[in-house]
C-alpha cells in the first residue's frame, strides 16, 4: 500500500500504547466540548442575529453585522491590531533569541536559574504587573523622575497612553512565551554543528544564517505563534497603557459587548478575528514549508 503523501519519514507505530488509550482523551474532549465548542457555536449564532432596541439579542437572521465590519473604522482597528501584534512578535524575537541562546549555552545548573528568572514575574497577577508599568511610565513616574534628575530632559515626556507604552506592555507580557520555545530549540542544537560550520569556513554571520537559524526555526515558529495570537486579541494592555487613543480588536469587542451592548456585532468581530488569525497562520505555514522543513521527506 502506498504511503499517505504527507506521511512523515518517521515509521508508523502500530500497536503503540497510544492506540488502546484513546479513552484518555475523554476528559479533555468533554471539557473542550462543553466549554469551548458549544459557546463558540452560540457566539456564531449570535453573530447572525439582530440587536434588540435596548440591547439583547433578537433571533432574526441577518448578515448586517458582518457587513458593518467593512466600515473603514473597523478595518483600521483590525490593521492596527495586527500591526501591534506583528511588531510585538518581532521585538520579542529580537530580544528573546539572544537571551534563549545564552541560557541554552550556560552551564546546566545555571540554566534552571535563568529559566526561573523568566518565570518569576508570572507569579504576580498580570493586571498588577500592568499597573506597575503605569507607575513607571507616568509623567511623574520613575523613568521621567530619573531623566529629570539627571538633567537629560527639562519636562516629563509623555510615555503613557502612547503606542510605545502599549508595545512595551505587550513585549513585557509575552516575552516569556517567545523565550521558552526558543530555549528548547537552542538547547537541542548540537554545538558540534557550529564547530563544523566554522571548520567549513563559515564566519559568525554565515554560521548563524546557514546553520543556527534553520535549526532553531521550529522554536522561532512556535514562539512567534505563542506571542502573535494572544497579542492580536490583547485588551488589558492597550486599555490600561494605551488609554483612549489606542484601540485594538480586543478593546473593540469588549466595548461592543459591555458598553454598546451590541452582542451580535461583538460576536461578528470575534469571529472575524478568529478567521483572520487562522488564515494568517495557514499562509505562514505554507510559506514556511516551501522555504524548507527538511524533516518532512517527500
Q: Does residue 17 touch other proteins according to CB under 8 A?
A: no
Residue 192: strand, helix, or coil: helix
Residue 121 CB, nearest approach to other proteins (Å): 34
Distance CA 27, CA 282 (A): 29
C-alpha count within 13 angstroms, C-beta hemisphere, residue 13:
6
Stretch that binds other proteins, among 81-89, 96-104, 132-140, 204-212 (CB under 8 A): 204-212
Q: Does residue 9 touch other proteins according to CB under 8 A?
A: yes
Binding-site size, other proteins (CB under 8 A): 21
Instruction: Give the one residue of 43, 215, 221, 281 binding other proteins; rule: CB under 8 A.
Output: 215
Distance CA 173, CA 167 (A): 10
Strands (E), the chain: 50-51, 57-58
Asked if 210 and 67 count as a contact pair (C-beta separation under 8 A), the reply is: no
Residue 176 CB, nearest approach to other proteins (Å): 27
Instruction: Give the one residue of 190, 244, 259, 290 binding other proteins; rule: CB under 8 A.
Output: 190
Question: Cβ neighbours of residue 15 under 8 Å, at least 6 residues apart?
Answer: none
What is the contact mask toward other proteins in residues 257 to 296, using x (rule: CB under 8 A)?
-----------------------------------x-x--
Q: Does residue 222 touch other proteins according to CB under 8 A?
A: no
Output Rg (C-alpha) for the chain, integer angstroms.
24
Per CB under 8 A, residues contacting other proteins are 9, 190, 192-193, 195-203, 206, 210-211, 214-215, 292, 294, 297
Amino acid at each position: 500500500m502506498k504511503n499517505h503523501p504527507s506521511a512523515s519519514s518517521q515509521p508508523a507505530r502500530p500497536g503503540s500504547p497510544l492506540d488502546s488509550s484513546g479513552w484518555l482523551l475523554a476528559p479533555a474532549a468533554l471539557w473542550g466540548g462543553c466549554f469551548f465548542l458549544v459557546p463558540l457555536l452560540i457566539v456564531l449564532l449570535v453573530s447572525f442575529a439582530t440587536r434588540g432596541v435596548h440591547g439583547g439579542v433578537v433571533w432574526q437572521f441577518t448578515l448586517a453585522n458582518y457587513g458593518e465590519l467593512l466600515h473603514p473604522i473597523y478595518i483600521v482597528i483590525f490593521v492596527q491590531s495586527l500591526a501591534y501584534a506583528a511588531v510585538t512578535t518581532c521585538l520579542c524575537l529580537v530580544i528573546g533569541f539572544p537571551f534563549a541562546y545564552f541560557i541554552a549555552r550556560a552551564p546546566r545548573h545555571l540554566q534552571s536559574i535563568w529559566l526561573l528568572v523568566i518565570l518569576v514575574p508570572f507569579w504576580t497577577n498580570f493586571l498588577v504587573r500592568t499597573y506597575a508599568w503605569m507607575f513607571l511610565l507616568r509623567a511623574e513616574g520613575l523613568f521621567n523622575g530619573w531623566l529629570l534628575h539627571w538633567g537629560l530632559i527639562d519636562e516629563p515626556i509623555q510615555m503613557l497612553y502612547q503606542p510605545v507604552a502599549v508595545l512595551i506592555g505587550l513585549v513585557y507580557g509575552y516575552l516569556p512565551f517567545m523565550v521558552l520555545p526558543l530555549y528548547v530549540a537552542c538547547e537541542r542544537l548540537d554545538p558540534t554543528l557550529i564547530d563544523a560550520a566554522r571548520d567549513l569556513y563559515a564566519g559568525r554571520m554565515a554560521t548563524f544564517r546557514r546553520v543556527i537559524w534553520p535549526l532553531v526555526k521550529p522554536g522561532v515558529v512556535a514562539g512567534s505563534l505563542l506571542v502573535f495570537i494572544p497579542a492580536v486579541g490583547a485588551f488589558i494592555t492597550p486599555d490600561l497603557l494605551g488609554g483612549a487613543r489606542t484601540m485594538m480588536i480586543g478593546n473593540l469587542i469588549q466595548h461592543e459587548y459591555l458598553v454598546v451592548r451590541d452582542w451580535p456585532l461583538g460576536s461578528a468581530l470575534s469571529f472575524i478575528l478568529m478567521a483572520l488569525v487562522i488564515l494568517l497562520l495557514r499562509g505562514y505555514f505554507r510559506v514556511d514549508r516551501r522555504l524548507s522543513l527538511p524533516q518532512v521527506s517527500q
